[in-house]
């Protein structure tokens, strides 16, 4: 555990100057660890993996091979942003894997939340392993582990493989932000020049929209959720202070609506916005009624198949933050 304990002398990163000092230190350390070797990274587009990628690009350039797997459960615009930022702007060696059909076919008809999680996690490992096996000469594996991950999971081996990659691949682990807290990771990302939409990205569950498209996922409901979620996040981003997390949910049931003087069945969109310190407890955030009405009007007008907009005002406990 000694190698995974934050040094007592390590100063909290609270200013751009301290962030730059950390960047300079880590770039030198990465160059020393990796040398001319190649590093593989699963790049989700979240802040931890994005900052890890940006640090590695600064240290070893094209010797970083980043793999972005689109499983079809990401939020609107996220795969495109990853490609734009890392391939087009930072000139990273980026492998984009369109695995949407593969994941959604596996999830078809699966309603149990835990089973959905297991399918998504297992399939991601398979896809990542397949891409890893196509590559030659890669001996290092990067992960966006941060300090709370270590504190919550206990000792981490100095050599192990991400997400169940086969042991025979024998990759040495690279974790440049493992002693940082989330706010420090964001500070470093900002200093590295990553866009605010990536640096300040909300916490997002590993299964993505798979646990917000409640019940058995269908492609039409998933696309409706993706569009509704983008509208909800766009509107609530105007709140001050900003909630810790805010998103949309679409459950697997319909109710009667009226359009063009005709009755039809449509899904409800549920708005969820919470504040929390540690995610153990959470409070529903008050959303002004005029904002709720704007969300309602934009969702009903722009999202096919939706005829109601609801607001979830439940606290945790007894409700959880996510619906599944």
pLDDT higher than threshold 60 for residue 158: no
Query: Does 232 lie in the same domain as 136?
Result: no
The pLDDT assigned to 260 comes to 86
Query: Does 230 lie in the same domain as 185?
Result: no
Query: Does 218 lie in the same domain as 75?
Result: no
Confidence of residue 203 (pLDDT cuts 50, 70, 90): confident
Query: Does 219 lie in the same domain as 106?
Result: no
Query: Does 17 lie in the same domain as 124?
Result: yes
Confidence of residue 193 (pLDDT cuts 50, 70, 90): very high
Query: Does 139 lie in the same domain as 285?
Result: no
| Segments forming the whole domain that contains residue 157 | 2-199
Pick the last residue of a domain from 141, 166, 199.
Answer: 199
Question: Residue 279 has which token pair?
Answer: 């995610």
pLDDT higher than threshold 70 for residue 240: yes
Inside any domain, residue 224: yes
pLDDT higher than threshold 60 for residue 162: no
- Sign of the alpha-carbon dihedral angle for 154, 176, 71, 97: negative
Among 102, 101, 82, 100, smallest CA distance to 92 is for: 82
The pLDDT assigned to 94 comes to 97
Inside any domain, residue 51: yes
Query: Does 112 lie in the same domain as 31?
Result: yes
Query: Does 288 lie in the same domain as 266?
Result: yes
Confidence of residue 160 (pLDDT cuts 50, 70, 90): very low
d(CA 131, CA 142): 15
The pLDDT assigned to 255 comes to 97
Pick the last residue of a domain from 173, 199, 225.
Answer: 199
Among 57, 60, 63, smallest CA distance to 86 is for: 57
Query: Does 221 lie in the same domain as 176?
Result: no
Confidence of residue 3 (pLDDT cuts 50, 70, 90): confident
Query: Does 51 lie in the same domain as 167?
Result: yes
Query: Does 128 lie in the same domain as 258?
Result: no
Give pLDDT tens digits for 89-132: 999 999 999 999 999 999 999 999 999 999 999 999 999 999 99
- Total number of domains constituting the chain: 2
Element (H, E) at 28: helix 16-34
Question: Residue 282 has which token pair?
Answer: 């959470």
Give pLDDT tens digits for 34-67: 999 999 999 999 999 999 999 999 999 999 999 9
Pick the last residue of a domain from 177, 199, 221.
Answer: 199
Inside any domain, residue 317: no
pLDDT higher than threshold 90 for residue 267: yes
Among 37, 99, 113, 49, smallest CA distance to 70 is for: 99
Question: What is the DSSP secondary structure assignment for residue 318, as one 8-state letter?
Answer: T
């Amino acid at each position: 555990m000694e190698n995974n304990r934050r040094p007592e002398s390590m100063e909290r990163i609270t200013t751009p100057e301290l962030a730059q000092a950390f960047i300079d230190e880590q770039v030198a350390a990465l160059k020393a660890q990796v040398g001319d070797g190649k590093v593989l990274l699963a790049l989700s587009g979240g802040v931890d993996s994005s900052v890890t990628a940006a640090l590695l690009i600064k240290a070893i350039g094209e010797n970083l091979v980043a793999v972005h797997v689109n499983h079809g459960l990401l939020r609107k615009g996220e795969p495109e942003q990853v490609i734009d930022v890392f391939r087009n702007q930072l000139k990273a060696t980026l492998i984009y894997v369109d695995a949407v059909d593969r994941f959604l076919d596996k999830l078809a008809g699966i309603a149990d939340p835990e089973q959905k999680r297991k399918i998504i996690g297992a399939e991601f490992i398979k896809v990542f392993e397949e891409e890893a096996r196509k590559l030659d000469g890669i001996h290092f594996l990067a992960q966006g582990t941060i300090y709370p991950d270590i504190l919550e999971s206990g000792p981490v081996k100095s050599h192990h493989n991400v997400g169940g990659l086969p042991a025979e691949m024998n990759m040495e682990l690279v974790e440049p932000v493992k002693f940082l807290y989330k706010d420090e990771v964001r500070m470093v990302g900002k200093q590295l020049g990553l866009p605010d939409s990536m640096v300040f990205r909300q916490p997002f569950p590993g299964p993505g929209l798979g646990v917000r498209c409640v019940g058995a996922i269908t492609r039409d409901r998933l696309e409706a959720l993706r569009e509704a979620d983008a509208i909800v996040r766009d509107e609530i981003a105007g709140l001050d202070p900003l909630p810790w997390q805010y998103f949309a949910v679409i459950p697997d049931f319909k109710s009667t609506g009226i359009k063009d003087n005709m009755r039809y069945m449509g899904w409800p969109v549920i708005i969820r916005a919470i504040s929390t310190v540690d995610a153990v407890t959470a409070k529903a955030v008050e959303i002004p009624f005029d904002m709720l009405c704007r969300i309602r009007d934009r969702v009903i007008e722009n999202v096919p198949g939706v005829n109601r907009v609801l607001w979830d005002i439940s606290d945790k406990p007894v409700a959880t933050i996510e619906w599944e």
